Structure 1
Amino acid sequence: MTEFRMPSLGSDMEAGTLVEWLVAPGDTVSRGDIVAVVETQKGAIEIETFEAGVVDRLVVEPGTEVPVGTVIAHIRGAGEPAAPEAPAPEAPEAKPKPKPKAPKPAAAKPAGPAPTRVRVSPVARRRAGQLGIDPETLAGTGPGGAVSLEDVERAAAAAPATAASATRAATPPDASAAMRRAIAAAMARSKREIPHYYLSTTIDLTQALDWLEAENRRLPVAGRLLYGALLVKATALALGEVPELNGFWRDDGFVPGPGIHVGAAIALRRGGLVAPAIHDTDGKDLGAVMQALRDLVQRARGGRLRASELSDPTVTVTSLGENGVEAVFPVIYPPQVAIVGFGSVVERPWSVDGRIESRRVITASLAADHRVSDGHRGALFLRALDRRLQDPETLA
């Protein structure tokens, strides 16, 4: 019998609220199946099971806030007998009482059809309330037909005047403030406990961008690549050369990552950010990395991420380039031991074979944990990152 526990979705999570069970006792589940929806500061998260078997018992009722690590269900393996039901306590012997007179039956009301309740994710319900939209009237496109944040935002866009008026009248969302507090607590812990060191380098991205532009000319519009995919893939390959930057600090020691799962930092529309994982990033081609990035952005902003995507990143990549920031020096997200930052692409005078040319360059930075690596190893990583970006065809 396996105990299915409330998962930890990051160092900033202490508890989650069980919103909905998507399985019932007796259901057969496989590894990776979504079995529940949990509300956290990051929004509604789909929780998967990592064990195959049969749902034996659901321990926690929907609506309950549960600390991380608490058992919320039991899953038994194939062929394993069901857990015995706990015997009901014996009632004390009592003297028989005289039977009361039966009341006159009330007139029966005609039965009508049972009302059906539309499933609405918590973050979508909260946003709908701010915008003055009844979520029960929307067609859901989320898991199992649930109304998602994206459905609410789409409905708001269809009625901009009403939405704008409701937004002005709404108070700032509590969820955004809660997320900011959670992020602040995690970052304070990171700076307090992790001895950071920082390195940065400027990388000539001209050759990589020229290659990308040529590649995009032959690709269909829907399959075209953004340079962010190049940065993520190059980071993953460079981590393969300096593996001590890819993993976790746990129990006073370094634990290597089970793979290179790059967490891509994504800003949320309602404020805050998440950094879900692109699993096995180093083994994906550029098209697959780009597709994964698009998918994560869409689902993160629609409140439809999975638990494994938030708990699995072995390193994080963040970029503020789209906001015109030339360099970013980020804080490590524990229990990870490194984070890579990228600024915007800018044109600068650059020496090429003794000539000064205008080149497109980017500032890459590394924050790493001095308990695991040092500046020498960090410098080797940035050099490997630069080398990979000078040979973009190897990233494809």
Structure 2
Amino acid sequence: MFDFALPALGADMDEGTLTDWLVKAGDDVARGQAVATVDTVKAAVDVEIWRAGTIHRLLVEPGTTVSVGTPLATLREPGEPEPTMEPAHEPATAHGPVAPERAPEPATIESTEPEPHRRPRISPVARREADKRGIDPTTLTGTGPLSSVTLDDVLRAAEAGKPAAPAPEVTVDKAREMRRAIAALMSRSKREIPHYYLADDIPLQAAASWLQHENTGRPVTARILMAALQLKAVALAAQRIPEMNGFWQDDAFHPQTRVHVGVAISLRQGGLVAPAIHDTADKPLGQLMSELTDLVARARAGSMRSSEMSDPTLTVTNLGERGVGSVFGVIYPPQVALVGFGMPADRAWAVDGKLDVLPIVTTTLAADHRVSDGHRGARFLTEIRELLQHPQDL
């Protein structure tokens, strides 16, 4: 028998609200399977389990807010028979743990509603907008990932004449809560991490020409963007300069052999998230582009997976589409590096002693001086530069 507890879905998370169970007692679950949906400050996250077993009891009811590390369910090991005595956990509800005299039979928490009337999958921002406008989410057809109800679905329903009951203070409070969480994490980063910063101007002529040729004949939806090349170059460079890929924990650096690049994504309601694309260095560019597109869509719809939120090994932020020339980011702890890309711009550039006009992007690095120094950081940026000069090898 073992517990399934609420994981930390990012360094800025202290608690979350269980909104849905995706399993019931008696279900066999596989490692990596999503078993619950948890609403955090930033997104609704499908929480995956990382150990196979059989659901024995669900300990927390939907609607309950619990701290990170709180047991959500108990599971039996594969092949383990049901115990003759129940574990000592008390089920938690939205009103707190159930006292023993109130629950003499430790019944498993299960939905008694017919399947069509179960709580719909809906992003936090969409749920708040629906509450504000008096719209029942169960009446909406979701168009988001996994048929989840998105903010656009709620706004379309409102425009179609659904009743409204404005309560803007709810949205304001939630936005303030998100800004407070971001501020606390970034303050901790600047207080605890001795940052150093480097920048390099990288020519993109070779990468742009290769992309133009590669995308010829591809449908618009399958075209590869410069962002995919940049992510792949960062991931491969991190394999070569391992001081940039890992975590600072317990006063020591823990390098990671796998590269999970976190992608900074701005949210419609404000704030940002930085979920990971797993094994970025090992994926073909077409697959990487597809996963990036999907990740951005789900992040902005408020539908993420716990593994994406909990294990990025370094982060990339790209503000080029916002017209920014360069960005110097703040490291997301416990990571030790962050790479920034600005907007490519045509600039005068010397090539083989001749002046030419080429697209140039300013690439920046924020790194942790406890793990590396400027020499290794410069090597890292040089690796990114060289990789982008040979896009066919990515």
Which band: TM-score by shorter chain? 0.7 to 0.9
1:186 aligns with 2:185: yes
Query: Conserved in 2, the CA contact under 8 Å of 1:14 and 1:67?
Result: yes
User: Pairwise mapping of residues 107-256 of structure 1 onto structure 2 (< 5 A)?
Assistant: 116-121=117-122, 122-130=124-132, 133-141=135-143, 146-153=148-155, 155=157, 159=159, 170-171=168-169, 172-256=171-255
Aligned partner of 1:49 in structure 2 is: 49
How far the C-alpha of 1:183 sits from its partner, in A, is 0.7
Quick one: distance in 2 between partners of 1:391 and 1:17?
Answer: 47
Aligned partner of 1:290 in structure 2 is: 289
Paired amino acid for 1:135: P
* Paired residue secondary structure (1:313): coil
Quick one: distance in 2 between partners of 1:368 and 1:34?
Answer: 33
How far the C-alpha of 1:3 sits from its partner, in A, is 1.6
Quick one: distance in 2 between partners of 1:232 and 1:302?
Answer: 22
Quick one: distance in 1 between partners of 2:152 and 2:278?
Answer: 24
Quick one: distance in 2 between partners of 1:187 and 1:258?
Answer: 26
CA deviation string 1:295-335 (max 9, x = no partner):
10111111111000000100000011111110000000000
* Paired residue secondary structure (2:117): coil
Query: Conserved in 2, the CA contact under 8 Å of 1:149 and 1:301?
Result: no
1:65 aligns with 2:78: no
How far the C-alpha of 1:19 sits from its partner, in A, is 1.1
Quick one: structure 1 residues 26 and 87, their matched pair in 2 at CA, closer, same or farther if it must change by over 3 Å? Answer: closer
Quick one: structure 1 residues 136 and 190, their matched pair in 2 at CA, closer, same or farther if it must change by over 3 Å? Answer: same
Aligned partner of 1:333 in structure 2 is: 332
Query: Conserved in 2, the CA contact under 8 Å of 1:56 and 1:83?
Result: no
How far the C-alpha of 1:349 sits from its partner, in A, is 0.5
Query: Conserved in 2, the CA contact under 8 Å of 1:46 and 1:307?
Result: yes
Quick one: distance in 2 between partners of 1:140 and 1:218?
Answer: 33
Quick one: structure 1 residues 120 and 291, their matched pair in 2 at CA, closer, same or farther if it must change by over 3 Å? Answer: closer
Quick one: distance in 1 between partners of 2:165 and 2:358?
Answer: 44
Quick one: structure 1 residues 340 and 87, their matched pair in 2 at CA, closer, same or farther if it must change by over 3 Å? Answer: closer
Query: Conserved in 2, the CA contact under 8 Å of 1:131 and 1:170?
Result: no
Runs (4 or more) in structure 1 with deviation over 6 Å come to: 87-91, 165-169
Aligned partner of 1:322 in structure 2 is: 321
* Paired residue secondary structure (1:62): coil
TM-score after normalising by structure 1: 0.87
Quick one: distance in 1 between partners of 2:273 and 2:229?
Answer: 20
How far the C-alpha of 1:174 sits from its partner, in A, is 2.5
Quick one: distance in 1 between partners of 2:31 and 2:217?
Answer: 39
Paired amino acid for 1:242: I
* Paired residue secondary structure (2:254): strand
Quick one: distance in 2 between partners of 1:313 and 1:366?
Answer: 16
Aligned partner of 1:347 in structure 2 is: 346
Paired amino acid for 1:54: T
* Paired residue secondary structure (2:216): helix
How far the C-alpha of 1:144 sits from its partner, in A, is 6.8
Quick one: distance in 2 between partners of 1:141 and 1:53?
Answer: 32
Quick one: structure 1 residues 58 and 332, their matched pair in 2 at CA, closer, same or farther if it must change by over 3 Å? Answer: same
CA deviation string 1:107-165 (max 9, x = no partner):
xxxxxx99935525343210223456442321134677553445335546xx39x79x9
Paired amino acid for 2:368: D
How far the C-alpha of 1:202 sits from its partner, in A, is 0.3
Query: Conserved in 2, the CA contact under 8 Å of 1:120 and 1:148?
Result: no
Aligned partner of 1:99 in structure 2 is: none
| Structure 1 stretch displaced more, 140-149 or 56-65 | 140-149
How far the C-alpha of 1:175 sits from its partner, in A, is 2.2
Paired amino acid for 2:75: I
Aligned partner of 1:383 in structure 2 is: 382
| Structure 1 stretch displaced more, 172-181 or 344-353 | 172-181
Quick one: structure 1 residues 383 and 167, their matched pair in 2 at CA, closer, same or farther if it must change by over 3 Å? Answer: farther
Percentage identity across paired residues of the two chains? 56
CA deviation string 1:175-232 (max 9, x = no partner):
2221111111000000000000100000001111111111111322221011110110
Aligned partner of 1:14 in structure 2 is: 14
Quick one: distance in 1 between partners of 2:87 and 2:28?
Answer: 26
* Paired residue secondary structure (1:75): strand
* Paired residue secondary structure (1:55): strand
* Paired residue secondary structure (1:173): helix
| Structure 1 stretch displaced more, 316-325 or 51-60 | 51-60
Please tell me the root mean square deviation across aligned C-alpha atoms, in Å: 2.6
